[in-house]
């Protein structure tokens, strides 16, 4: 009796194996879902054609800004100020193309915190933990620690925005702050310190990417909570939700608190006045290009979230419409709405805030699709405990 | 019928089950503890989601460690059969208490363990091969009533069969969802990963899973097919444990299914153990009969009948509610619906001062852990609990007559997301009950 049972078991296991191996041969061409399901290929393309070239592009602008900052520091004139400002505009715009890669070294070193926390803190009456935490206090102190969270909003592009564009009423007045003012040297020193900090933090992240993280990134192909795809997508969606939707639109327009309280002075690059729309459009386009896998090197689309979602057939079970098409339709609507805004989002809020709120609503729709439909279709895990799927 | 309740069988299967379950639970507690989950799930969160009617079950702060220690020690005593009655009661109470603290940690197999522990309180699993039996010659028995072992088998069979019935829906059988989503996510697995790139794989797995759940109790029960069936149990559960993050469940089921094996099998197993621990031969060869007092046996049989009757009805209670079960989840839990839906959601709450009109959008991270937020966003009863929590919180912060509205968006088994809860309903004014929640928007598919 026992022998027959054992035999049954063996036959059962054997038949399952045979079934699998036979079916494999038969369906090798017809049944395969086709290319694009290989996450290793996707991660390789994203690393080599999108993230690393984007970092390389930012490095050029960053180096340029460091150089112009040094020129200004050595000899503050209206000419060096003007070059420094232009380099700042270029670098700030380029930054929008790398802020979304909140994964690996950038996440570990919380790169964003040293580059783009706004509105910037010019002056504060509260001193926390015995350290200063406004630009004015930091200039006066001269020994502030820019690594402390309390100083995040007193450095980076937003602090430079104030120092280059907002510290005086006119260009002459601004220049005077760095030449004839009693604390001109302290101000120059602070500008240098902020730029050096940015340069150091960026190079730290970029070097770690090229010196080993790239290979680790490409090899972690699973979809669990610590996998590259999961971290990358979570960082991308977080950036989209909190730093494009909320930071650039919802917060200054007051869309997420009791209307009619808008906060026009909370727009990005507030002191530059005419840059905020460009930054928003650039950031959003970078997110769209990343989603569609547009190579930064060639401009041609490759393996990406788009090809992966299409390969796993992410589409509405009911209508059959691919999720990618739904998302790209929404992205297009957002880009169109952003283009009609005033180059100064502050002006837009003061004159026609409803247009800002409309962009916010469109971003909100896309956020939900990215956060819910896309991550669910990809089966990206956000928790680490046991789960039985309900 | 009377003769059935008088029938006896060897006490060995029940003893093996006691030992297996006890050590599995002890290991489960140690695993949970060592992963730091006690802190993550029961100490760190700022708020909790108790079950309706069990709001008196509150988190214990740092004393939660003591609760887990009690549970672990009870599991050990349970396995050893030392102070069995007390240990089984304390195991049931401590384990169930833990599971009742927060809905967001609900798993069907935790519920299974709670219910099995409840049954075990009344069964003479300590009558054989236990320390209690060693110390108490009157207790020591080689035979127990057959219905005691059968009730475990029946309960396990119910789990499988209800799990199969739950799979009879178009998503599972016709669209191979959610396996279509889940399997391809594992296509980078060594050796078998490539299988998940084929379109037919999720269909094969869906149908195999359904047929497995439906037939495995019968094949296990039948002597001729038992060994093959047990091999299938091992293959199936090991496979699921490789594919999905379902923790201890596969191993508990593999150990549990041993209960279907013959008396001889369990006796051989125990005599090997006995040899290992150099026990006397008489320890596993007593011909004593464990007999309940007549009245006790009748009471227990009535209670068990009631228990099984309720267990038979619970999975069908969803029929009392309108709407799609997977969407509303009214009557979803406690029904052996395992691995059935891929659901994800987004819920943004707005709290409004009804007097001044001022309002805020809530940052969920301020109140909930990632797990809690994920679970809350797709389950209407948790959305309501959270809304009440926000109402009370903002009332304390000076909001007069706070109203709570939710902007919700949920995707189910690969359908494009849509709104789950009526955004115009003031959830602060809604009351939890077993009635249908009329503010859940309908799902026409």
DSSP state of A147: T
How many structural domains comprise chain B?
Answer: 3
pTM of the full predicted structure? 0.90
Query: What's the ipTM?
Result: 0.90
Average pLDDT over residues B243-266: 94
* B205 in contact with A, Cβ within 8 Å: no
- Judge whether B438 lies within some domain: no
Q: Domain check: are B92 and B192 in the same one?
A: no
Give the end of a domain, one of B259, B274, B297.
B259
Confidence band of B283 (pLDDT split at 50, 70, 90): confident
* B37, B187, B249: residue with CB nearest A385: B37
Q: Which of B279, B24, B22, B292 is nearest to B129 (CA)?
A: B279
CB-based contact A181:A101 (threshold 8 Å): no
- pLDDT at position A141 over 90: no
Nearest CA in chain A to B325: A390
CA distance B83 to chain A (A): 31
Average pLDDT over residues A118-125: 89
**What percentage of chain B has pLDDT greater than the value 90?**
91
The CA dihedral of A292, A296, A302, A306, to the nearest 10 degrees, is: -10
Question: pLDDT tens digit string along A310-363?
Answer: 999 999 888 899 999 999 999 999 999 999 999 999 999 999 999 999 999 999
Q: What are phi and psi of B292, to 5 degrees?
A: -70, 155
CB contact under 8 A, A23 and B200: yes
Inter-CA distances, A345 with A182, B175, B408, Å: 35, 47, 29
Distance separating alpha carbons of residues A373 and B409, to the nearest angstrom: 9
CB contact under 8 A, A27 and B337: no
Which residues in chain A have their CB less than 8 angstroms from residue B332's CB? 390
Confidence band of A131 (pLDDT split at 50, 70, 90): low
CA distance A352 to chain B (A): 21
- Judge whether B380 lies within some domain: yes
Average pLDDT over residues A242-267: 89
Q: Domain check: are B372 and B227 in the same one?
A: no
Average pLDDT over residues B46-52: 97
- pLDDT at position A384 over 90: no
* A33, A368, A371: residue with CB nearest B197: A33
Distance separating alpha carbons of residues A199 and A64, to the nearest angstrom: 11
Distance separating alpha carbons of residues A88 and A83, to the nearest angstrom: 9
CB contact under 8 A, B184 and A37: yes
Nearest CA in chain A to B225: A5
- Judge whether B96 lies within some domain: yes
Q: Domain check: are B5 and B135 in the same one?
A: yes
Which residues in chain B have their CB less than 8 angstroms from residue A307's CB? none
- pLDDT at position A69 over 60: yes
CB contact under 8 A, B370 and A318: no
CB count in 10 Å sphere of residue B430: 17
Q: Domain check: are B25 and B45 in the same one?
A: yes
- pLDDT at position A168 over 50: yes
Confidence band of A27 (pLDDT split at 50, 70, 90): very low
- A103-117, A125-139, B270-284, B349-363: range with lowest mean pLDDT: A125-139
CB contact under 8 A, B107 and A5: no
- Judge whether B322 lies within some domain: no
Q: Domain check: are B49 and B87 in the same one?
A: yes
Average pLDDT over residues A278-295: 98
Distance separating alpha carbons of residues A211 and B136, to the nearest angstrom: 69
Q: Which of A162, A183, A8, A252 is nearest to B225 (CA)?
A: A8
- Judge whether B154 lies within some domain: no
Q: Domain check: are B274 and B389 in the same one?
A: no
- pLDDT at position B147 over 70: yes
- pLDDT at position B360 over 60: yes
For residue A375, list its beta bridge partners.
Answer: none
- Judge whether B32 lies within some domain: yes
Rounded to the nearest integer, the mean pLDDT of chain B is 95
Q: Domain check: are B229 and B349 in the same one?
A: no
* A314 in contact with B, Cβ within 8 Å: yes
CB contact under 8 A, B198 and A27: yes
Burial label, B42 (beta-carbon count in 10 A; 0-12, 13-18, 19+): buried
H-helix or E-strand spanning residue B409:
strand B402-412
Which residues in chain B have their CB less than 8 angstroms from residue A6's CB? 227
CB-based contact A118:A266 (threshold 8 Å): yes
CA distance A323 to chain B (A): 8
Surface of B (35-94) touching A: CB under 8 A: 37, 40-41
Between B249-256 and B108-122, two packed helices, what is the crossing angle to 10 degrees?
40
Q: Domain check: are B271 and B141 in the same one?
A: yes
Average pLDDT over residues B297-326: 96
Q: Which of A55, A85, A61, A265 is nearest to A191 (CA)?
A: A85
- Judge whether B334 lies within some domain: no
Distance separating alpha carbons of residues A96 and A117, to the nearest angstrom: 13
Inter-CA distances, A138 with A149, A155, A160, B279, Å: 14, 10, 13, 78
- pLDDT at position A21 over 50: no
Q: Domain check: are B255 and B278 in the same one?
A: no
CB contact under 8 A, B181 and A376: yes
Q: Domain check: are B208 and B347 in the same one?
A: no
Surface of A (131-190) touching B: CB under 8 A: none
- pLDDT at position A389 over 70: no
For residue A265, list its beta bridge partners.
Answer: none
- Judge whether B444 lies within some domain: no
CA distance A181 to chain B (A): 44
Surface of A (19-78) touching B: CB under 8 A: 20, 23-24, 27, 31-33, 37-40
Surface of B (115-144) touching A: CB under 8 A: none
Q: Domain check: are B18 and B138 in the same one?
A: yes
* A383 in contact with B, Cβ within 8 Å: yes
* A320 in contact with B, Cβ within 8 Å: no
- pLDDT at position B33 over 50: yes
Q: Domain check: are B24 and B118 in the same one?
A: yes
- pLDDT at position A14 over 80: no
For residue B346, list its beta bridge partners.
Answer: B409
Distance separating alpha carbons of residues A385 and A377, to the nearest angstrom: 20
Q: Which of A129, A122, A126 is nearest to A187 (CA)?
A: A122
| End-to-end CA, chain A | 42
CB contact under 8 A, B342 and A379: yes
| Model pLDDT, residue A130 | 57
Question: pLDDT tens digit string along B201-238?
Answer: 999 999 999 999 999 999 999 999 999 999 999 999 99
According to DSSP H, which parts of B39-127 are helical? 64-80, 84-101, 108-122
Nearest CA in chain B to A371: B346
CB contact under 8 A, A257 and B360: yes
Average pLDDT over residues B285-311: 92
Question: pLDDT tens digit string along B3-23?
Answer: 899 899 999 999 999 999 999
Rounded to the nearest integer, the mean pLDDT of chain A is 89
The domain containing residue B409 runs over which residues? 342-429
For residue A257, list its beta bridge partners.
Answer: B360
Residues 6+ apart with CB under 8 A from A178: A72, A76, A81, A184, A187, A188, A191
CA distance A353 to chain B (A): 18
- pLDDT at position B307 over 50: yes
């Amino acid at each position: 009796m026992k022998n027959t049972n054992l035999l049954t078991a063996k036959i059962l296991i054997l038949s399952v194996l045979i079934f699998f191996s036979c079916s494999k041969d038969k369906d090798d061409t017809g049944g395969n879902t086709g290319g694009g399901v290989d996450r290793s290929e996707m991660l390789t393309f994203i690393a080599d054609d999108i993230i690393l070239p984007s970092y390389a592009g930012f490095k050029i602008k960053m180096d340029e800004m460091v150089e112009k900052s040094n020129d200004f520091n050595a000899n503050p004139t209206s000419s060096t100020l003007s070059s420094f400002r232009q380099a700042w505009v270029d670098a700030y715009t380029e930054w929008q193309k790398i802020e979304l890669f909140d994964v690996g070294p950038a996440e570990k070193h919380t790169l964003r915190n040293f580059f783009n926390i706004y509105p910037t803190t010019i002056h504060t009456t509260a001193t926390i933990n015995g350290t200063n935490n406004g630009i004015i206090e930091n200039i006066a102190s001269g020994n502030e620690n820019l690594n402390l969270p309390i100083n995040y909003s007193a450095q980076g592009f937003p602090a430079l925005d104030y120092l280059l564009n907002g510290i005086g009423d006119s260009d002459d007045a601004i220049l005077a702050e760095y030449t004839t003012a009693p604390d001109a040297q302290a101000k120059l020193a602070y500008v240098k310190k902020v730029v050096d900090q940015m340069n150091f933090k960026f190079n730290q992240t970029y070097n770690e990417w090229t010196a080993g993280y790239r290979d680790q990134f490409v090899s972690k192909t699973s979809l669990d909570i610590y996998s590259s795809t999961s971290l990358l997508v979570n960082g991308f969606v977080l950036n989209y939700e909190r730093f494009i939707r909320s930071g650039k639109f919802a917060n200054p327009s007051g869309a997420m608190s009791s209307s009619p309280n808008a906060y026009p002075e909370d727009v990005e690059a507030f002191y530059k006045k005419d840059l905020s729309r460009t930054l928003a459009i650039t950031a959003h386009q970078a997110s769209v290009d990343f989603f569609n896998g547009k190579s930064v090197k060639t401009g041609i689309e490759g393996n990406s979230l788009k090809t992966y979602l299409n390969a796993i057939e992410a589409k509405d079970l009911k209508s059959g419409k691919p999720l990618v098409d739904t998302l790209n339709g929404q992205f297009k609507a957002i880009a169109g709405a952003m283009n009609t805004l005033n180059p100064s989002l502050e002006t837009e809020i003061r004159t026609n805030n409803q247009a800002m709120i409309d962009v916010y609503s469109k971003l909100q729709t896309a956020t939900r699709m990215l956060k819910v439909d896309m991550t669910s279709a990809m089966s990206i895990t956000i928790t680490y405990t046991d789960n039985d799927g309900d | 019928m009377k003769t059935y309740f008088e029938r006896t069988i060897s006490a060995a299967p029940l003893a093996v089950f006691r030992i297996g379950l006890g050590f599995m639970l002890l290991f489960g507690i140690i695993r949970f503890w060592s992963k730091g989950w006690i802190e993550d799930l029961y100490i760190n969160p700022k708020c909790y989601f108790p079950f309706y009617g069990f709001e008196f079950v509150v988190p214990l702060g740092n004393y939660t460690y003591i609760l887990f220690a009690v549970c672990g020690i009870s599991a050990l005593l349970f396995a050893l059969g030392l102070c069995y009655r007390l240990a089984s009661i304390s195991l049931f109470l401590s384990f169930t208490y833990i599971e009742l603290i927060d809905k967001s940690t609900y798993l069907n197999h935790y519920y299974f363990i709670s219910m099995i522990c409840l049954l075990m309180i009344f069964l003479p699993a300590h009558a054989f091969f236990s320390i209690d039996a060693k110390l108490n010659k009157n207790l020591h028995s080689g035979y127990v009533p057959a219905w005691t072992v059968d009730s475990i088998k029946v309960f396990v069979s119910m789990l499988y069969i209800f799990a199969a019935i739950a799979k009879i829906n178009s998503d599972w059988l016709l669209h191979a969802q959610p396996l279509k989503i889940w399997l391809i996510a594992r296509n980078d697995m060594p050796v078998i990963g490539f299988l998940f790139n084929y379109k037919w794989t999720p269909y094969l797995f869906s149908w195999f899973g359904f047929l497995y759940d439906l037939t495995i109790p019968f094949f296990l029960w039948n002597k001729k097919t038992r060994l093959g069936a047990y091999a299938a149990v091992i293959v199936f559960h090991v496979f699921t444990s490789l594919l999905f993050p379902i923790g201890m469940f596969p191993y508990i089921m593999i150990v549990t299914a041993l209960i279907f094996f013959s008396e001889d099998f369990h006796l051989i197993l125990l005599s090997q153990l006995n040899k290992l621990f150099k026990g006397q031969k008489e320890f596993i060869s007593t011909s004593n009969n464990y007999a309940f007092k007549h009245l006790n046996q009748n009471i227990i049989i009535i209670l068990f009948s009631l228990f099984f009757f309720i267990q038979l009805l619970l999975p069908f209670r969803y029929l009392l509610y309108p709407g799609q079960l997977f969407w509303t989840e009214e009557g979803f839990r406690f029904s052996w619906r395992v691995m059935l839906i891929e659901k994800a959601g987004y819920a943004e709450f707005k709290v409004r001062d009804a007097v001044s009109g001022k309002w805020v959008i809530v940052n969920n991270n301020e109140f909930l852990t990632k797990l809690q937020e994920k679970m809350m966003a797709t389950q209407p009863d948790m959305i309501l609990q959270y809304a009440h929590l926000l109402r009370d919180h903002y009332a304390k912060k000076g909001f007069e007559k706070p109203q709570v509205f939710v902007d919700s968006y949920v995707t189910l088994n690969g359908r494009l997301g849509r709104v789950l809860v009526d955004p115009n309903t003031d959830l602060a004014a809604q009351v939890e009950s077993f009635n249908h929640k009329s503010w859940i928007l309908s799902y026409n598919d």
